[in-house]
Amino acid sequence: MSSSFSAWHDSPFHEFNDAESNTSAPSRPLAAYGWDDAWADAFAPYAEQGLVPGRVVRVDRGQCDVVTADGTLRADTAFVTPHDPLRVICTGDWAAVEPVGDPRFVRTYLPRRTAFVRSTSSNRSEGQILAANVDHAVIAVSLALELDLGRIERFLALAWESGAVPLVVLTKADLVPDPVGLAYLVQDVETAAPGVRVLPVSATTGEGVDALAAVVAGGTSVLLGQSGAGKSTLANVLLGEDVMAVQSAREVDGKGRHTTTTRNLLVLPGGGVLIDTPGLRGVGLYDAGAGVGQVFAEIEELATGCRFHDCSHQAEPECAVLAAIEDGSLAHRRLESYRKLLRENQRIVAKTDARLRAEMRRDWRIKGAVGRANSALKRGHLR
Ligand code: GDP
Ligand code: ZN
């Protein structure tokens, strides 16, 4: 991780000054964080209970930082840290916080519109929630390297699966000065990303930056992509200020101590919100079944024309997919990539199923043991 990548955590844009605080409708200051009528409607029952809405900008060991209409507060997450790791509160969630108390507890959070999840590690199949309520998944792909369409497809699957709308930015476009060459590269990526906007950008020349800023202005975004793809540079451009200076400017907490807090959710000066949680770097693929289908929409579309509805497009007669490869309208690489992602996905799903089955077995064993103990008690075998 480059040093500048972590720099965009500590932007001042999240702060409200007290003049802005507003004890009635929390709409105005929270609008910058993505609060809208639909969130307000969903929150109405909690407002009736006197709970306060706020967006989670950071979660850390039993606590989270929540931006409310009255500023940022630290709240306890004991009520929103269930056993299921996918239901643990995370950055981007809209929290319902107690109006008073020390600590103040987050009582619940609003149903998520979208959620980014990753598999935790190679030998565990539990998912981990990385970010909630993301509208745009900006996939950064460096033009300094040979394009790896398979990797782009992986990120696209993850993005579609989350519910966010993907956008591919081809970074460092200044390194491809030939416009015809650049157009070919964009076209290559477009064939791997049907229905997805592909935008060349350069932090160096500013090319494409306004177009990107316009997209991210409309909601909450995350930047995905390989290390070195130019994510932090782009984030800094979008933040539009000298984040290195901000990084050294430390905050003072309520007790007058200097603290350096890390925010994983930042409001952009041009509008929109950017989320970067540590886990979002190098995300893997987790149960991205629907996502894989969307990345390879044209293959799934072709497959509806196969003679057999469960055609595996290997050697079956009247296979529309193989026919498309034959006549050149579908690249063989695409089909290979599709198969690879499906296989990988099935492996992850199988692992998850195995875990669930093991949990169920354990559950039954416990219930069985309790049942046996109870009947033994009744029969007077146990004291
Ligand atoms: P990250 O790991 O994805 O956050 O990537 P960085 O933002 O740290 O960028 C990786 C490298 O690419 C750094 O050396 C940047 O200076 C360089 N870089 C980023 N954006 C551009 C660009 O638009 N043009 C060129 N030529 N280099 C860039
Ligand atoms: Zn087929």
Domains and CATH numbers, the chain: 2-109 (2.40.50.140), 119-276 (3.40.50.300), 289-378 (1.10.40.50)
Q: What is the pTM of this model?
A: 0.73
* Rounded distance between C-alpha atoms, residue 316 and residue 322, angstroms: 9
Per residue, the 3-state secondary structure of 303-349, as one string, reads HCCCCCCCCCCCCCCCCHHHHHHHCCCCCHHHHHHHHHHHHHHHHHH
**Two structure tokens written together for 347:** 């492996």
**pLDDT for position 192:** 87
**pLDDT for position 194:** 86
Atom 12 (ligand 1) nearest CA: 230
User: Which residues, by Cβ under 5 Å, contact ligand 2, an ion?
Assistant: 306, 311, 313, 319, 321
Work out whether strand 71-76 and strand 258-259 pair parallel, antiparallel, or are unpaired: unpaired
Question: How many CB atoms lie under 10 A from the CB of residue 38?
Answer: 10
- Ligand 2 centre to CA of 299 (Å) is 9
Give just the sign of the alpha carbon dihedral 271, 275, 281, 282. negative
- Ligand 2 centre to CA of 306 (Å) is 5
List all residues 6 or more positions away from 143 whose beta carbon is below 8 Å from its beta carbon: 170, 171, 172, 173, 175, 176, 182, 185, 200
Is the CB of 170 inside a 6 Å radius of any atom of ligand 1? no
* Rounded distance between C-alpha atoms, residue 312 and residue 139, angstroms: 30
Residue 180: exposed, middle, or buried by beta-carbon count in 10 A (0-12, 13-18, 19+)?
exposed
Q: Which ligand is nearest to the CA of 305?
A: 2
Which residues make beta-bridge pairs with 198? Answer: 168
**pLDDT for position 241:** 65
- Ligand 1 centre to CA of 171 (Å) is 8
* Rounded distance between C-alpha atoms, residue 186 and residue 182, angstroms: 6
Question: Which stretches within the chain are classed as H helix?
Answer: 3-7, 27-31, 37-48, 149-162, 179-192, 209-216, 231-239, 243-248, 289-295, 297-303, 320-326, 332-378
Q: Which ligand is nearest to the CA of 307?
A: 2
**pLDDT for position 383:** 40
* Residue among 238, 242, 241 nearest 221 (CA): 238
Residue-level length of the chain = 383
**pLDDT for position 301:** 87
**pLDDT for position 51:** 97
Give just the sign of the alpha carbon dihedral 294, 299, 302, 308. negative
* Rounded distance between C-alpha atoms, residue 14 and residue 22, angstroms: 16
* Rounded distance between C-alpha atoms, residue 373 and residue 241, angstroms: 67
Question: How many CB atoms lie under 10 A from the CB of residue 104?
Answer: 17
Is the CB of 227 inside a 6 Å radius of any atom of ligand 1? yes
* Residue among 3, 27, 30 nearest 16 (CA): 30
- Ligand 1 centre to CA of 145 (Å) is 12
| Ranges of residues in the chain whose predicted pLDDT is under 50 | 1-26, 121-124, 242, 244-258, 286-287, 382-383
**pLDDT for position 292:** 74
Task: Give how far Cα 46 sits from Cα of 95, 110, 221, Å.
Answer: 10, 10, 27
Q: If DSSP codes are grouped into helix, strand and coil, which group holds residue 101?
A: coil
**pLDDT for position 356:** 57
**pLDDT for position 373:** 57
Is the CB of 2 inside a 6 Å radius of any atom of ligand 1? yes
